[in-house]
Amino acid sequence: MKKVFERPKSLKDTPSHFCPGCHSGLIHRLVAEAIDYFKIQERTIGVASVGCSVFLYNYLDVDVIEAPHGRAPAVCTGIKRVRKQNIVFTIQGDGDLAAIGTSEIIHTANRGENITVIFINNAVYGMTGGQMAPTTLLGQRTTTSPYGRDVQQEGYPVRMVELLSGLEGSAFIARAAVNKPANLMKAKKLIRRAFEMQINNMGFSMVEVLSACPTNWGLKPLEANRRVEEEMIPCFPLGVFKEKIQGSEDSRG
């Protein structure tokens, strides 16, 4: 018999700190698979953000720097401008990217920085204990929206993919989920495509991946997966929202 499933080479053999049923481990693996697929491990530089994603260097066997909260796209910019031959990416959560780092992500996308952002959206602040995030769903109870997110009080969930795909500088913007095998396979392709865009010098690429946070949602892993399907995906629709074609007028590749 032949082994048909193996740990990607660029993913370290370290047990993760993620909670049971959290999708972050899956998403890290998909990033590692993309790095292996393009054989770019030795020229990839990762930027860790603040939140559950901070231990990037424990999992991805590439050079890594830790950025301040929300600033990963600016740190990526600095690295990429110095080292254009390297592949630069970050994994950011929703608090990091869509709240405190809104300015950095918008302007990095707008400049068309040739970097790749993997945006894990679990609609909650995970590391700090389940507080309301900019992407928290309407009615969703969190430790700081104990009565459920209320439009009058807290406004609507922010849709970063829709926002960023409206900027001329962005090259590839997509949203995926990993809550079931079919979605996971699509997510795998989209993450690979995002890195491919960078390799082809196409400019800014981002894939938002919807993720379950069973611990802070107060749900069992399978219930959390159902919530992704039934509540998150209707609010954050999946698909490719922006894709520049290589050689076209608006592409740099």
Partner 1 sequence: MTKVAKKGKIAILKEICKGCGLCVDVCSQGILGLGDEMNSKGYYFSRINSEKNCTGCAVCAEMCPDLAIEVWRKSNISGNSRK
Partner 2 sequence: MLKKVFIKGNEAIARAAVDAGCRYYFGYPITPQSDIPEYLSKVLPKLGGEFIQAESEIASINMLMGASAAGARSMTSSSGPGISLKQEGLSYMAGSELPGVVVNVARCGPGLGGIAPSQAEYFQATKGGGHGDYRLIVLAPESGQEMYDLTFKAFDLADKYRNPAMILADGMLGQMKEPVLLQPPRKMDLPDKDWVLSGAKGRPQNIIKSLYLGDKELERHTWQLWEKYQRMKKEDVMFEAREIKDARLIIAAFGSCARIAKSTLRQARAEGLKVGLIRPITLFPFPEEIFRQASIDTKMFLTIEMNTGQMVEDVRLSVSPGTVVYFYGRPPGAGSLPSPDEILREIKKVYEPSSE
Q: Which does 18 bind (CB under 5 to 8 A by kind): partner 2, partner 1, none?
A: partner 1
Enclosing H/E stretch for 188: helix 181-199
Looking from the CA of 146 toward its CB, the CA atoms found within 13 Å total 1
Contacting partner 1 (CB under 8 A), which of 34, 40, 184, 204? 184
Looking from the CA of 83 toward its CB, the CA atoms found within 13 Å total 12
**Which region among 2-10, 49-57, 82-90, 198-206 touches partner 1 (by CB under 8 A)?**
2-10
**Which region among 24-32, 56-64, 132-140, 200-208 touches partner 2 (by CB under 8 A)?**
56-64
Binding flag, residue 96, partner 2 (CB under 8 A): no
Binding flag, residue 126, partner 1 (CB under 8 A): no
Question: 171 in the Ramachandran plot: left (φ > 0), alpha (ψ -120 to 50) or beta?
Answer: alpha
- Beta strands at 131-132 and 170-177: parallel, antiparallel or unpaired: unpaired
Is the Cβ of residue 92 or residue 183 nearer to partner 1 in the bound state? 183
Binding flag, residue 93, partner 1 (CB under 8 A): no
Binding flag, residue 31, partner 2 (CB under 8 A): no
Q: Does the CA dihedral 67-29-164-228 come out positive or negative?
A: negative
**Closest separation between CB of residue 1 and partner 1, Å?**
4
Task: Report DSSP letters for 51-92, one per residue.
Answer: SGGGGHHHHB-SEEEEPPTT-HHHHHHHHHHH-TTSEEEEEE
Binding flag, residue 77, partner 2 (CB under 8 A): yes
Contacting partner 2 (CB under 8 A), which of 22, 27, 30, 74? 74
- Binding string, residues 26-55; x marks residues near partner 1 by CB under 8 A: x--x--------------------------
Is the Cβ of residue 24 or residue 77 nearer to partner 1 in the bound state? 24
Task: With CA atoms as reference, report the closest residue to 92 among 54, 56, 119.
Answer: 119
Looking from the CA of 197 toward its CB, the CA atoms found within 13 Å total 31
Q: Looking at residue 19, what DSSP letter applies?
A: P
CA–CA dist 209, 206 (Å, integer) = 10
Q: Which does 117 bind (CB under 5 to 8 A by kind): partner 1, partner 2, none?
A: none
Binding flag, residue 64, partner 2 (CB under 8 A): yes
- CA 116 to chain CA centroid, Å, is 9
For residue 210, give the 3-state DSSP assignment.
strand
**Which region among 22-30, 90-98, 116-124, 146-154 touches partner 1 (by CB under 8 A)?**
22-30
Q: Which residues bind partner 2 (CB under 8 A)?
A: 41-45, 47-48, 54, 57, 61-68, 71, 74-83, 86, 103-104, 106-107, 111
Q: Which residues bind partner 1 (CB under 8 A)?
A: 1-5, 7, 11, 15-16, 18-26, 29, 180-181, 184-185, 214, 220-222, 225
